[in-house]
Structure 1
Amino acid sequence: MGSIRCRDGFLFFDFRVHSIRCREQTRLSDTASNRKRLVKILQQIEKEIDAGVFSYAQYFPGSRNIEKIAAIETARQQHQALPAEAGPHRAATRAQSGMTPLFECFSQDWFLENEVRWKRSYRKTVRGNLDKHLIAEFGKKEVGSIDKGEILRFRSTLAKVRNGSKEGLSPDRINHIMTTLRMILEDAADRFDFTTPFARIKPLKVIRSDVDPFSIEEVTRFLKFVRPDFRDYYTVRFFTGMRTGEIDGLKWEYVDFDRRLIRIRETLVDGQADVTKTPASIREICMSEPVFQALQRQFQVSASCGSYVFCNREGQPLDHRNITKRIWYPSLRMMGIKPRKPYQTRHTAATLWLAAGENPEWIARQMGHTTTRMLFTVYSRFVPNLTRRDGSAFENLLAARLPGVIKDPAEIAVSPVSDVVGGADHV
C-alpha cells in the first residue's frame, strides 16, 4: 500500500507498480488539506493499478519512471508469452529485459519493510551485512540475474576477507551473512516469479563452541578472591545461569524478595534495554540462599542509585566489556584459574544444578530453554565427574533389589573372567 510522505517540506507519492517502488515529488507543502487531497489521488491510482488500467504518463507526465514501467510491462508480456517448456530460460529472459530491480534498490526496500518485526540488535546485524558485504558485491546486479555460481563464489571470498588479525571470516559469521542474502533472494523470487538461486545451498558446518564450566572449588576460590564490590555480581552470575545481557539489564522491579524470585523480562543490548533473546527467555529464576543474600546486600548499595541492580556510580548499567577486561580476566590470571569467557558462568550454573540432582525440567525453565534437550546434549557429560557416578549406582540398585540373581558390583569387578562367562567348558 502506498503512502504520502514529506521531503524538504514538500509532499511526494510513494507507491509500487509491478512491485517496483516509485516516488513522485509534488510542489505541495506539507499541510493537512494537501495530504488529504493527495491521499484521494493515491487511492485512485492504486485502484487503477489493481484493475490493470493504470497509465503512468497520465498522472506523472515527464517522469523518468515512465520508460522504466513501460519496459517492465513489455517484458512481462514477453515472459508470459513464452511456452511452458521454456521455463529454464525465463530467468535469463527476465534479467536481460530489465524486469527485476537492482539488488541495491530491492534490498533497501526489503530492509525498510521488514525492520519493524526485528529486534534492534538483529536490525543492526542485517544492516551491517548489507552495507559491508552484500550491496558491495551484488548492488549493481538485478536480483533476477544472480545465479548459484555467483553466490558460491561470493561465499568463498568471505572466507578470505581479513578480519582484524585473522584471515577470513568464521563459518558462523559467513552463515549469518548468507542468511540475509537468502532471505532477500527468496523474497524477490516470490515477488517477481522466478526460482531462487539459493535452492539446495547448505550452510557451512560450524564447530560447536566448547562448554567449559567452572568446578565448585574454582567458583569458591574466585568469589573469595574477586574485588568485594563485584563479589555479589559474580555470585548472582554463577548461581542463576543468567545471560550477560540479562544480569546487566536486571532492574529492581523484577527482584521479588518475598517469593525469592528473579523475573527475567528484559535484556541489555548495546547499553539499551531490549526484549529478551527468545520468548522462552521470559522466566522466573529461583533464588538460592547465596543469591538471596547477595541481592539483599546489593540492595543496600544500589537501590537508591536508580532502577538497575548492578550499576555504576551514575546509576547506569555496567559496561560488560569494560568489566570483563578490568575485573574478570585479571582475577582469573592472578588466581591461576584457566581463563574462560564470562558466559561460562551460565554453563557452570547448569552443571552444578545437574550435579546436585535437580529435576532437568526445572533446570531448563531456570535457563530459559523450551525443552531439556540442550541439558542432555551439552551439559550432561560433565555430571559424572561432578557426582563421581559412572553407572555403579544402577548396579547397586539391581544388586539390592535382586539378591542372588545379580552379584555385588565389587565382587564382579574382581572375579576371574572364567567365573563370569561360565568357565572353559562354556568356551
Structure 2
Amino acid sequence: MGIDFPGVRPRGNSIVIDFNFNGTRCRESLRIKPTKTAVREAVRKREAILFEIAMGNFDYGKHFPNSKNALKFSKNKSALVTVEETLKQWIKKAEMRCQHSTIRDYNSAIYYHLIPAFGQITLEDFNVSYVYDWLDEINISNKRINNVLGPLRQALQDAFYDGIIEQNPMDRFRYLSPETREPQPFNQDEINRILNQLEGQCRNLIQFAFWSGLRTSELIALRWQDVDLPNNRVHIRTAIVRKREKTTKTVSGLRTVELQPKAREAIEAQATCNGQSLRVFHDPSSDTPWAGDHIIRKRLWIPALNAADVTYRNPYQTRHTFASMLLSAGKNPLWVAQQMGHKDWGMIRKTYGRWIPASTGN
C-alpha cells in the first residue's frame, strides 16, 4: 500500500494491530478490508489503546471482545462469559470425576432447564432474581428444583474461584423444602378481591389468566390472530421467555383452549383497548406488549394481592386455580389436561387429585 505505520499492517482481507500489554506482545486482527482509510482508522485505534495502557485503564474485552486474550486480560471478565459457557465448561470437568449416571442427570438439568432459562445471560448480569422468576414459570417438585439448580450453583462457584465473578449469586438462594409444591388455588372470594383492585388492561389480563389456565409466558405472547371469538376459543402457539418468542414448552402445549365465560369477557374487553395490535395484552403504562412476566409480578400482581389482603402466591397459581375450578365442577380430567397442555391426564391426577370428584375420576 506504500504507507508504513508501526504496529499496524495489512494481512489478506484484515488488518493486524500489534502492541505490548502487561509484558505480553499482543496481535489482534480487525476483519475489515485494508483500505487506506481503514488502515488510518486502525492506527488511531492502536494509538487509543497505547494511551489507555499508559493511563492504566485499558480494557482488553472492550476493544476485542471476541479475542482469546479478552478473558485473560479483561478487567471485567464476567461481562464476556455467559451462563451457558460456564455450565458447559463445568460439565466437562465434572465428566472426569463423576459417574455416568450422575453426568446424565447433570446434563438433563443443564440442557433441559438451565441453558434454556439462563444460558444467554452474562455472568455480570446474572443474579438470583432470574431464578425466582424461573420458579414462577415451572411446575416441578422442590426436590427436582434443588437438583436442577445444583450444577448452576457449582458452576458459578468455579467461576468465583477462577476470579471471573466476585461472589456466587446462588449463595443468596436457599434450597427449597423437599416437600412437593402443592397447588394453592385461589377461592372465588379471593379472585373477586384481587380483580377489584385492578382495572382496564391489567384486570383483563389477570381475569383471563384465572379463567384460561395459560402460563404467564403464554399470556404475554398471545396474538390476536390466535383468538377465534366466533368459535369461542384461542390457539396457544407461542410463549415469550426472557424477551424472546419461542414455541410452547412442549408439543402438547400447542393447543386450543375453549373460552370460559369469564375468559371471553376479558378478551372482549381487551379488544376495545388494543384490538388492532399484534399482542393481546399490553402494559398500560407504555401501551406496548409486556416485556416479561417478572414485570407483571412486581408491578401488578404483588400490589394487587397486598391491596386485596390476600395471602401471596405466585402468578402460576392462577393456572392451578383454573384446573381446580374445572375439576371441582365435574369436568372430564382428560379434557382439563388438554386445555392445560398436558399430554395425558396423569399429571392432572397426580397434582389435582383432591379436586376430582370420585364419580369423575373413576
- TM-score band, normalised by shorter chain: 0.5 to 0.7
- Identify which of 255, 279, 301 aligns with 1:308: 279
Task: Give the direction of change, closer, same or farther, for the CA distance of 1:373–1:146 in structure 2 (3 Å limit).
Answer: same
Following TM superposition, by how much is the alpha carbon of 1:228 offset from its aligned partner in structure 2, in angstroms? Answer: 3.7
1:128 aligns with 83
In structure 1, the residue corresponding to 2:280 is in which secondary structure?
coil
Is 2:295 the partner of 1:322? yes
Following TM superposition, by how much is the alpha carbon of 1:269 offset from its aligned partner in structure 2, in angstroms? Answer: 1.1
Is 2:97 the partner of 1:146? yes
Is 2:354 the partner of 1:381? yes
Task: Give the direction of change, closer, same or farther, for the CA distance of 1:298–1:8 in structure 2 (3 Å limit).
Answer: farther
1:355 aligns with 328
Q: Is the contact between residue 284 and residue 366 of structure 1 (CA under 8 Å) also seen in structure 2?
A: yes
1:33 aligns with none
Distance, in Å, in 2 between the alignment partners of 1:252 and 1:237 is 16
* Runs of 5+ unmatched residues, structure 1: 1-6, 11-28, 31-126, 156-162, 181-203, 385-390, 395-427
Map 1:220-235 to 2 at 5 A.
220-235=192-207
Task: Give the direction of change, closer, same or farther, for the CA distance of 1:164–1:361 in structure 2 (3 Å limit).
Answer: closer
Task: Give the direction of change, closer, same or farther, for the CA distance of 1:144–1:323 in structure 2 (3 Å limit).
Answer: closer
Distance, in Å, in 2 between the alignment partners of 1:280 and 1:269 is 18
Higher relative contact order (CA 8 A, sep 6+): 2
2:238 aligns with 266
Distance, in Å, in 1 between the alignment partners of 2:197 and 2:250 is 35
Following TM superposition, by how much is the alpha carbon of 1:221 offset from its aligned partner in structure 2, in angstroms? Answer: 2.2
Which whole-Å deviations, capped at 9, do the CAs of 1:299-326 have from their partners, x for residues lacking one? 110123x200001335333432122112
Q: Is the contact between residue 211 and residue 260 of structure 2 (CA under 8 Å) also seen in structure 1?
A: yes
* Runs of 5+ unmatched residues, structure 2: 1-10, 15-30, 33-81, 107-126, 130-141, 153-175
Is 2:210 the partner of 1:241? no
Q: Is the contact between residue 310 and residue 318 of structure 1 (CA under 8 Å) also seen in structure 2?
A: no
Following TM superposition, by how much is the alpha carbon of 1:174 offset from its aligned partner in structure 2, in angstroms? Answer: 5.5
Task: Give the direction of change, closer, same or farther, for the CA distance of 1:147–1:224 in structure 2 (3 Å limit).
Answer: closer
Following TM superposition, by how much is the alpha carbon of 1:171 offset from its aligned partner in structure 2, in angstroms? Answer: 5.4
Following TM superposition, by how much is the alpha carbon of 1:217 offset from its aligned partner in structure 2, in angstroms? Answer: 2.0
Following TM superposition, by how much is the alpha carbon of 1:295 offset from its aligned partner in structure 2, in angstroms? Answer: 0.7
2:186 aligns with 214
TM-score of the superposed pair, with normalisation by structure 2: 0.54
Q: Is the contact between residue 311 and residue 318 of structure 1 (CA under 8 Å) also seen in structure 2?
A: no
Q: Is the contact between residue 211 and residue 347 of structure 1 (CA under 8 Å) also seen in structure 2?
A: yes
Task: Give the direction of change, closer, same or farther, for the CA distance of 1:378–1:171 in structure 2 (3 Å limit).
Answer: closer
* RMSD value, Cα: 4.0
2:165 aligns with none
Distance, in Å, in 1 between the alignment partners of 2:320 and 2:329 is 14
2:318 aligns with 345
Task: Give the direction of change, closer, same or farther, for the CA distance of 1:177–1:214 in structure 2 (3 Å limit).
Answer: closer
Task: Give the direction of change, closer, same or farther, for the CA distance of 1:174–1:342 in structure 2 (3 Å limit).
Answer: closer
Following TM superposition, by how much is the alpha carbon of 1:220 offset from its aligned partner in structure 2, in angstroms? Answer: 2.1
Return the letter of the residue paired with 1:281: G
Return the letter of the residue paired with 1:378: T
Q: Among all aligned residue pairs of Structure 1 and Structure 2, give the percentage whose two residues are the same amino acid.
A: 28
Task: Give the direction of change, closer, same or farther, for the CA distance of 1:134–1:8 in structure 2 (3 Å limit).
Answer: farther
Task: Give the direction of change, closer, same or farther, for the CA distance of 1:301–1:8 in structure 2 (3 Å limit).
Answer: farther
Is 2:247 the partner of 1:287? no
Map 1:16-165 to 2 at 5 A.
128=83, 130-131=85-86, 135=89, 145-148=96-99
Distance, in Å, in 2 between the alignment partners of 1:209 and 1:338 is 16
Q: Is the contact between residue 201 and residue 273 of structure 2 (CA under 8 Å) also seen in structure 1?
A: no
Task: Give the direction of change, closer, same or farther, for the CA distance of 1:225–1:362 in structure 2 (3 Å limit).
Answer: same
Distance, in Å, in 1 between the alignment partners of 2:95 and 2:280 is 52
2:269 aligns with 297
Task: Give the direction of change, closer, same or farther, for the CA distance of 1:314–1:232 in structure 2 (3 Å limit).
Answer: closer
